[in-house]
Amino acid sequence: MSLQPQEPRFRQLAGILRAAIEAGEYPPGAAVPTAADLGQQYGVSEATANNALAVLRREGLVTSRHGAGTFVRLLPVIHRRAPGRFARSARESGQNRGAFDGEIRHLGMVPSVITHVSREIPPADAAEVLDLAEGQQCLVRRRKMYANDQPVQFAPSYIPLDIAGGTQLEQEDTGPGGTIARMRDLGHAQVRITESVRARRATAEESAFLQLESDQPVIEILHIGWTKDDRAVEVGVWAVPASGWVLDYGWPLD
Amino acid sequence: MSLQPQEPRFRQLAGILRAAIEAGEYPPGAAVPTAADLGQQYGVSEATANNALAVLRREGLVTSRHGAGTFVRLLPVIHRRAPGRFARSARESGQNRGAFDGEIRHLGMVPSVITHVSREIPPADAAEVLDLAEGQQCLVRRRKMYANDQPVQFAPSYIPLDIAGGTQLEQEDTGPGGTIARMRDLGHAQVRITESVRARRATAEESAFLQLESDQPVIEILHIGWTKDDRAVEVGVWAVPASGWVLDYGWPLD
DNA sequence: CAGTGGTCTAGACCACCAC
DNA sequence: TGGTGGTCTAGACCACTGC
């Protein structure tokens, strides 16, 4: 098989491989041919074949293990149902992990979450939303979420210390109903959620945890919980691999 | 200035340029140095410098004009307020363009929209949501949206012909309140909206219109309008450059 | 140890732009 | 016509993997 000169060779080759993967010729977990093999087979240099594989890596369709090979991604796309997940009914099935649990189990995978709690100076954007003075600490609940032990979401949340200091919110396990229920108990009931979604390159921390290679972007969900007097009392700067998730939103129309 | 060997040179160089751009050293619209200049200055090959520029291109931070140079992107990030834009109050300021108009003008830019109406066989995903038989046509309202004459959103919407055929929905101008108001007049009032957001690579059509180079992904918004008997009566498969937009959602908490 | 991924260089070629 | 973007090759080097 040979390549036409109209579109760049590496892009054509990426297209051929993409089609083969989507057709199931290389099932999830399987190794795709090495750059050397591809170059041989399609009459291009190894560098060009590598370039084609890099395209697929950036799309999240394959992952490469240095020295071992290039493999079709294992994880199916995860759907996240946004408004529903924070409803009281969803929260009461286990500390706000109910929604994530369901979404992952629905795909036949085993979910797990590791929460690490600390006090830190939040990143500038979170500090601004929380209206914290420069350099002021807050509570950080850093959740790391996995499906079948593969990292799928990095979800740090920031809560002001005047609300959370010394309370159960500083425990790893916040008990039934999760942080939202505890904040309500403390007199800081959230009545409104906003989420701002964007694609951006990953931070070093996100990249390390999510095992992102090359230049795979993430989708950032800037999650904010508001009280009835419009104070932001919980801010989440959550990141998922851009290629691996679909975010579902819905609302009634007047 | 020289480069450390720990991180790949092209990535370090991309980081230096990114910092310079964000610091305003190269303001929007300005040309960044050519690959040859960068190679000279930082002691790397031209190919490596080009690779660094490719990183920034994929991030949407710069755009290249073949034969002319590489320039810092002109457009600021556009915020899209999702639930509010479809409320009756927003719709009544001019055929559903009220929300987009406001968002662009808010950035000090001039919005414009070109609508093209036709009958076509919709893409498979839209056909499935609309519950159309294979090969069956529907109405397509293809909206192309610009800010300062630069394309920013490609927004085709699909409506079944048993609803839209021969009605004002087949006109380019749907009148006050837009398609939602006309569908209500026709007895197909939408009572609920869902939107599914994902990042993916652009189709050929999207790529051509949005002038996406290299492998810039888009954010797809799969917008669905539902009637009270849970029929999907309007499906939009809308695409925006992933690097140029923030999507804002919000909802009340019980 | 050989195979593989990943980076880098030098040099080449072509298309396109501006002058 | 010269500068620039973009692609491609051949060849090199190193880190890492699995045997």
pLDDT computed for residue A176 by the predictor: 81
pLDDT computed for residue A6 by the predictor: 73
pLDDT computed for residue A89 by the predictor: 66
Average pLDDT, chain B: 90
CA separation for the pair A95, A237 (Å, rounded): 19
| Residue whose C-alpha is closest to residue B171's, from B116, B101, B122, B96 | B116
pLDDT computed for residue B2 by the predictor: 44
pLDDT in tens, B215-230: 899 999 999 999 999 9
pLDDT computed for residue B89 by the predictor: 66
CA-to-C1' span, A243 to D19 (A): 34
User: Per the CB < 8 Å rule, is A196 touching B248?
Assistant: yes
| B169 three-class SS | helix
pLDDT in tens, B187-215: 999 999 999 999 999 998 999 999 987 68
pLDDT at B172 over 90: no
| Residue whose C-alpha is closest to residue B60's, from B197, B218, B237 | B218
pLDDT in tens, B90-103: 666 544 456 888 88
pLDDT at A164 over 50: yes
pLDDT computed for residue A41 by the predictor: 94
Strand ranges across the sheet with B217-226: A78-81, A245-252, B192-201, B217-226, B232-241, B150-159, B138-147, B111-120
CA separation for the pair B242, A218 (Å, rounded): 10
The residue-averaged pLDDT of A217-233 equals 95
* β-bridge pairing B245-252 and B78-81: parallel
Name the residue facing A248 among B59, B194, B253 (closest C-beta).
B194
CA distances from A72 to A22, A33, A61, B4, B34 (A): 10, 11, 6, 33, 36
| Residue whose C-alpha is closest to residue A247's, from B159, B248, B85, B124 | B248
Banded model confidence at residue A228, pLDDT cuts 50, 70, 90: very high
Which nucleotide lies at the shortest CA–C1' distance from A62?
Answer: C5
Residues in chain A within 8 Å Cβ distance of B246: 196-198
pLDDT at B143 over 50: yes
Q: Which two tokens stand for residue B73?
A: 């992107």
Q: What proportion of chain A, given as a percentage, has pLDDT over 70?
A: 93
Q: How far is A123 from chain B (nearest CA, A)?
A: 18
Beta bridge partners of A246: A79
Average pLDDT, chain A: 90
pLDDT in tens, B38-63: 999 999 999 999 999 999 999 999 99
CA separation for the pair A205, A195 (Å, rounded): 21
DSSP B210-230: HT--TT-EEEEEEEEEE-TT-
pLDDT in tens, A71-122: 999 989 999 998 877 777 666 654 445 688 888 998 999 999 999 999 999 9
User: Per the CB < 8 Å rule, is B197 touching A251?
Assistant: no
Name the residue facing A217 among B83, B190, B217 (closest C-beta).
B217
Q: Is B225 on the interface with A (CB under 8 A)?
A: yes
User: Per the CB < 8 Å rule, is A195 touching B250?
Assistant: yes
The residue-averaged pLDDT of B165-175 equals 84
Which nucleotide lies at the shortest CA–C1' distance from B66?
Answer: D5
- Closest residue, CA to C1' of C9: B45
Name the residue facing A249 among B87, B194, B200 (closest C-beta).
B194
pLDDT computed for residue B91 by the predictor: 63
